[in-house]
Structure 1
């Protein structure tokens, strides 16, 4: 079976690209599947990267990036040339350029549509893209959602007769770097560490996590990794609220230190406030280390499904700093309760969110699509 994944960018810059890349690598290691990947090059130049014996990453040249979409007419030309080499095209949404390339390619084979999220911020893009998006939904033989919540609640996926299925995102477990763990432990000795990670942008809701520190005992310390346009504003909030001893902005964290922060923290918090946060891969990274999670109940998002309330952690209302703080204290103030959450978080990861499970479910889906 030959499969082509089509999606956003390479090199990897976000969760969608990471899922697509992991699928290509995992599928190509099997004897029964050859899998390539077609995407727009962030470096703007066309090139082909060989991955093992059964996979290629085909990067097409681009003009420029507009509304989170790389304009790449070369993708259309390339797909028209290679489309007949594949039994299945697996397209990752949202990506108007990939959808346009599929439409203009004249491909007649099977199509799997991976619906990672709705288009939310780019209102003008959505207006222009809406007819093509409707075509793509109707063209798909099956639509994959990363959570049952998103499949159920997305307003674009409510047409009768759509063939929809859930395949959760899967990852390899985080393996903490022991040397970095020792260094961090010395740096924050005696503290209960609450970790969070992400771009410092509005939809991540970091201002509410920072404000939550006002309600936490003095031995609690919130560590926020990542950089972004709101860094100065968030630093100002820490200063205004006099939370120097309770909140630290870590900036960009290296891969080695990142694994260590997941390993050393007592608990992970996802404070996001908008449906732009569709799944929250960082939650399952924390769970893979046996860390309980405090997450938010975002309408229509899969975030609160990933973190099962009362099992792997606690889910609270969005934009509620006091509720975040109460959930943190609830989990960390009782050793027996904490142990229960920790074990359940690890078990939920092992049951639902391992990469090999995602790959196996995709292969099963492909076989069903081919034979239908």
Structure 2
């Protein structure tokens, strides 16, 4: 097998059922690497106080616990506190020492992640380090500036720094500083639930379809998702906006919807179980991906929509992978950042131009299958490890998938 015998330790912020793109990526990559024969372990913070819920906002002290996600050993470190996005985890030194003591060939860190960066900065004799740079620190300018020397120190020790797309590299001072060791590793997903939906997903789709034109947003309700732009655009198009996610801006967004007069056409769905989300994606006319800052570096929900055969309306965030994931006039339509009128015009095109939504959706599904499958991502990651470590490259590349019918 491609990863036979390789021992990989992933260091993440949190792990599902905690919500979030980085969290789902760590799980997908860890599972897929294990399926290719690697021995995979994950260390992360325990988001849950009582073992329940998906939000990783701090609500009190959580315990340390260890479990298995299939073939992946997962240690969730208890949190004592969370200060300026840094998690205080008293068991971290001991848990890291135990994990390294079991034998590790590759340590794979996912950033931004100040807790782990500071912890690894003081570890000597660290195994070969790989860092997936999910995004720059954009909004927290003061904290980011104070943290930058510690981050640079660790990046200098890394064998490879992995960007989620080549498009993100030119706009990132940190990635540019280490350009010689930067490689691209596009994020991928397990696509089977979208290509071959369950009966429960089809039943959920039927319920959503009764709503008429359906526009979908998926993600945490935070500033860089562009939710207010979407609400303003909704005033100019027919249909219902379904907002899937939770976060600190929900109350303000509800007030904004009320002020704009669209409160009755917005569904605040919160967290949706996987089958219900697949059903909503299949029923939707399009995904609205309205990111407004480079904190939005990629957008895995775009891949979910594309695999479901749906076009994506995304934004031209400079030096972000967002418009690279879904391509303008090929798999969706790209509009300027923060431009509600342009977003509404793109949405109306999907409703008014015969065959446009179907053409874009079909191409979106093809691109998802070719570029964003979990096994393709895992094989690429193992190949990058091998190249940096001077080992033979994995020879068993994933075989092509026949495009599944989703109609």
TM-score (norm 1): 0.91
Is the CA contact (8 Å cut-off) linking 1:192 and 1:221 kept in structure 2?
yes
Q: CA deviation at 1:361?
A: 0.5
**Counterparts in 2 of 1:152 and 1:248: CA distance versus 1, 3 Å:** same
Query: Partner of 1:147 in structure 2?
Result: 165
Distance across 1 between alignment mates of 2:264 and 2:121: 55
Aligned with residue 18 of structure 1, among 15, 24, 28: 24
Distance across 2 between alignment mates of 1:270 and 1:92: 23
Is the CA contact (8 Å cut-off) linking 2:15 and 2:26 kept in structure 1?
no
Distance across 2 between alignment mates of 1:282 and 1:369: 30
Gaps of 5+ in 1: none
Q: CA deviation at 1:118?
A: 1.1
Tell me the SS of whatever aligns to 2:40. Answer: strand
Question: Within the alignment, does 1:194 sit opposite 2:212 as a pair?
Answer: no
Aligned with residue 93 of structure 1, among 107, 111, 123: 111
Aligned with residue 208 of structure 2, among 184, 199, 212: 184
Q: Which moved more, 1:271-280 or 1:249-258?
A: 249-258
Question: Within the alignment, does 1:28 sit opposite 2:28 as a pair?
Answer: no
Question: Within the alignment, does 1:270 sit opposite 2:289 as a pair?
Answer: yes
Q: CA deviation at 1:242?
A: 2.6
Deviations along 1:265-299, one digit per CA (max 9) or x if unpaired, are: 11111112122211111111100101001001112
Aligned with residue 76 of structure 1, among 82, 93, 97: 93
Aligned residues: 365
Aligned with residue 183 of structure 2, among 165, 170, 186: 165
Distance across 2 between alignment mates of 1:171 and 1:161: 27
Q: How does 1:155-304 map to 2 (within 5 A)?
A: 155-159=173-177, 162-173=180-191, 174=194, 175=197, 177-186=201-210, 188=211, 191-216=212-237, 218=238, 220-244=239-263, 246-304=265-323
Distance across 2 between alignment mates of 1:251 and 1:111: 36
Question: Within the alignment, does 1:350 sit opposite 2:369 as a pair?
Answer: yes
Aligned with residue 45 of structure 1, among 48, 59, 63: 63
Q: Which moved more, 1:107-116 or 1:155-164?
A: 155-164
Deviations along 1:79-126, one digit per CA (max 9) or x if unpaired, are: 234425111111111112112222222134311111011122333432
RMSD over aligned Cα, in angstroms? 2.1
